[in-house]
């Protein structure tokens, strides 16, 4: 399914912008018209584009960029023709978080409206030996 690949590409772009500490790319990935929210691990929930983008700026400018971050086992869950979520694991070394990224169609592009990452009982060792899915599968 082509749309699944496009959504996974948008998800990959999010993690690449995060790893690279590229605030301009991060800004371009988030919706401008649809409401947005974000829940970083250990933070209070953030609602509104301004608060969300300020959080990414603070993370990037204060050295919170996890260069070793890997998105593992991304799975697209269609919500409607104009929205979908990606469930995945965020791995840094042996640490693992469960993440949800919600996308909507905005001006012909898939844009983020919600990111949430938090603890999971899974460990990186639980994922070892599993092939990482290609965004084009």
CATH number at residue 16: 3.10.450.50
Q: 3-class secondary structure for 73-94?
A: EEEEEEEECCEEEEEEEEEECC
> In terms of Cα–Cα distance, which of 111, 113, 73, 117 is closest to 98?
117
pLDDT score for 2:
80
In a domain, 136, yes or no: no
Residue 33 sits in which domain range?
Answer: 2-127
Digit-coded pLDDT (tens) for 25-78? 999 999 999 999 999 999 999 999 999 999 999 999 998 878 789 999 999 999
Instruction: Give the whole-angstrom CA distance, residue 100 versus residue 117.
Output: 7
Count of domains for the chain = 1
pLDDT score for 134:
40
In a domain, 137, yes or no: no
pLDDT higher than threshold 90 for residue 92: no
Is this model's pTM higher than 0.75 or not? yes
pLDDT score for 93:
82
């Amino acid at each position: 399914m082509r749309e699944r690949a496009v959504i996974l590409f948008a998800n990959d772009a999010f993690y690449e912008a995060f790893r690279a500490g590229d605030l301009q790319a991060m800004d371009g990935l988030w919706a401008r018209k649809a409401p947005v929210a974000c829940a970083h691990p250990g933070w209070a929930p953030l609602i509104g584009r301004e608060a969300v983008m300020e959080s990414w700026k603070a993370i990037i400018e204060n050295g919170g960029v996890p260069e070793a971050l890997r998105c593992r086992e991304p799975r697209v869950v269609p919500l409607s023709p104009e929205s979908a979520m990606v469930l995945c694991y965020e791995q840094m070394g042996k640490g693992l978080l469960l993440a949800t990224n919600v996308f909507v169609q905005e001006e012909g592009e898939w844009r983020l409206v919600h990111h949430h990452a938090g603890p999971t009982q899974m460990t990186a060792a639980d994922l070892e030996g599993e092939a990482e899915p290609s965004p084009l599968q």
